[in-house]
Structure 1
Amino acid sequence: MISVDRFLKTALVVGGGQGIGLGFVRRLLAADDVERVYATYRRLESATELLAIADSRLCCVQMDITDESQIAAVIHQIQTETKALHYVINSVGVLHEGQMQPEKSLRQINSEQLSRYFQVNCIGAMLLFKQVQPLIAHQDRSILATISAKVGSIGDNHSGGWYGYRASKAALNMFIRTTAIEYKRRCPQAILVALHPGTTDTRLSLPFQRNVPPEQLFSVDRTVGQLLAVMAGLESSDSGEFFSWDGSRLPW
């Protein structure tokens, strides 16, 4: 088990119903110094494993990250029970959904799909960081981590394609960088980072795993352990940065 930060007492995992988010929930509940984990999920049918966890420290709440009123309601609920969050982990993201698939060429681009990518992959995160700010304006170290993606790196883009996903993740990285600057003034103990998890064996990556070497396809548990290790080693000067699963910094 990866040891989490000694100040960690209460955590919020957004998108905890499946995949990497569910992995974070399980790891945090396995940590001795976590007294409460709040986990959100969007759809009941995709959150059966989360809802089956029998642990009195876990509170599961239904929430759509694209709806600010729902985010505000969840934050209000948390505020009635605790004054501080020490970990806020956003694992929500969309790459494919129904008929929506990442674009291979300009011919496949349409405004509805681009809007969906941006709404889920970056705008929702900003609404979350706006609403959660009062719960991290305290004197203990806190980590706010959002799952980004290496393909969102403009400097590392050598193959093209995946227009909406790439652009929404690049926008997410800029939002994180900018928010970290404001948080330095308002929440000086908060560290805000974007994290690239590597290719992880989840529903998001499933249609694209065929060309991934086995040693580069991580289990959810391995990914979460690696990302928790990165978080544990963060310093105040790292706020606003973009890290890969191995702790290396990624280019913007």
Structure 2
Amino acid sequence: MLFLNQINSANALIVGASQGIGLGFVKKLLDDGKINRIYAAYRNADSATELLQLATENPTRLTCLVIDVTNEAQITEALQQIKSEVKTLHLVINCVGVLHDGDFQPEKSLRHLNIENLTRYFQVNSIGSVLLAKHLVPLFKHQDNSVFASISAKVASIGDNNLGGWYGYRASKTALNMFMRNVSIEYARSCPKNIVVTLHPGTTDTRLSRPFQANVPPEKLFSVERTVTQLLEVIGKLDKNDSGQFFSWDGSKLPW
């Protein structure tokens, strides 16, 4: 990654690392010799068995932490632990997101809306990331280049929305984009070497997208490994002028 080229020993945090894209980032970063320490946050141990096994196999490089992004106390405690050990972070990627879970499903029309589901979408998909940004400030206050990236979605684009539906998911990811745009402006003052972006990963073969893959052409359904590689390439090409922007997996900027 270009932005890490001048850093001899970079530290990374992946939030939402128990499975899918987040776990893919952890695996990829373990193969990168420029990454010194990797912190990987998960919510439930039951779904993090592979991640926890990786930590057992890589005890000096990979540390697992419990973070539910809807619980600010857990965010605070985890980031305080990181700060006590490494002082600085150079790459943070928030991969946490919810689209469906059992009876919790994206709305197809107004009649499916309810306040409980809408609240959950915003708590997980947007508020969590801005709470992370709040508590990451001390770890980004250094003179090395750093990036804070959050996984968004193309369906969050207001300008690109021609189909409607998925009210809560779309709106919560749009709110994420606005939150991170705000963060980028404040970080330019408080953490001037940091770049803040939101990223659309493309349709990736994970649990999140599986119920909605039927009409996706095979060439547009990415493996986790491909998605992670593509997004790290986008991150690697960022410069300071890109902070606050919304990028697709191919490096193109998406409309707000």
TM-score normalised to structure 2 length:
0.96
Contact 1:3 1:31 in 2 (8 A): no
Structure 1 stretch 109-118 or stretch 47-56: which is displaced more? 47-56
Q: How does 1:167-186 map to 2 (within 5 A)?
A: 167-186=171-190
Distance (whole Å) between structure 1 residues aligned to residue 13 and residue 25 of structure 2: 10
Provide runs of 4+ in structure 1 moved above 4 Å.
none
Task: Name which of 209, 213, 229 aligns with 2:233.
Answer: 229
Other structure's SS at 1:81 match = helix
Tell me by how many angstroms 1:228 deviates: 0.2
Q: Amino acid of the residue matched to residue 16 of structure 1?
A: A
Residues 11 and 238 of structure 1: is their aligned pair in 2 closer, same or farther, counting only changes over 3 Å? same
Give the corresponding residue for 1:5: 4
**For 1:119-165, what per-residue CA distance to the aligned partner results, in whole angstroms no more than 9, with x for missing partners?**
00000001000011100010000010000000000000000000000
Tell me by how many angstroms 1:200 deviates: 0.1
In structure 1, the gaps of 5 or more residues are none
Does residue 1:123 correspond to 2:97, yes or no?
no
Give the corresponding residue for 1:75: 79
Does residue 1:55 correspond to 2:55, yes or no?
no
- Indicate the percent of aligned positions where both proteins have the same amino acid: 61
Contact 1:241 1:249 in 2 (8 A): yes
Q: Amino acid of the residue matched to residue 114 of structure 1?
A: L
Tell me by how many angstroms 1:63 deviates: 1.4
Give the corresponding residue for 1:246: 250
Task: Name which of 88, 94, 98 aligns with 1:94.
Answer: 98
Tell me by how many angstroms 1:5 deviates: 2.2
Distance (whole Å) between structure 2 residues aligned to residue 114 and residue 178 of structure 1: 22
**For 1:12-37, what per-residue CA distance to the aligned partner results, in whole angstroms no more than 9, with x for missing partners?**
00001000000000111100111100
Q: How does 1:147-226 map to 2 (within 5 A)?
A: 147-226=151-230
Contact 1:85 1:142 in 2 (8 A): yes
Distance (whole Å) between structure 1 residues aligned to residue 2 and residue 33 of structure 2: 9
Distance (whole Å) between structure 1 residues aligned to residue 35 and residue 176 of structure 2: 28
Other structure's SS at 1:35 match = strand
Contact 1:92 1:120 in 2 (8 A): yes
Tell me by how many angstroms 1:98 deviates: 2.0
Structure 1 stretch 70-79 or stretch 2-11: which is displaced more? 2-11
Distance (whole Å) between structure 2 residues aligned to residue 224 and residue 248 of structure 1: 16
Give the corresponding residue for 2:107: 103
Distance (whole Å) between structure 1 residues aligned to residue 3 and residue 205 of structure 2: 23
Other structure's SS at 2:117 match = helix
Give the corresponding residue for 1:17: 18
Contact 2:94 2:149 in 1 (8 A): yes
Distance (whole Å) between structure 2 residues aligned to residue 44 and residue 72 of structure 1: 19
TM-score normalised to structure 1 length:
0.98
Q: Amino acid of the residue matched to residue 207 of structure 1?
A: P
Tell me by how many angstroms 1:45 deviates: 1.0
Contact 1:147 1:194 in 2 (8 A): yes
**For 1:92-136, what per-residue CA distance to the aligned partner results, in whole angstroms no more than 9, with x for missing partners?**
000001211000000000000000000000000010000111000
Distance (whole Å) between structure 1 residues aligned to residue 244 and residue 143 of structure 2: 19
Distance (whole Å) between structure 2 residues aligned to residue 103 and residue 180 of structure 1: 31
Other structure's SS at 1:242 match = strand
Distance (whole Å) between structure 1 residues aligned to residue 3 and residue 189 of structure 2: 25
The number of residue pairs the alignment matches comes to: 251
Give the corresponding residue for 1:85: 89
Q: Amino acid of the residue matched to residue 10 of structure 1?
A: N
Other structure's SS at 1:97 match = coil
Distance (whole Å) between structure 2 residues aligned to residue 228 and residue 193 of structure 1: 12
Tell me by how many angstroms 1:3 deviates: 7.3
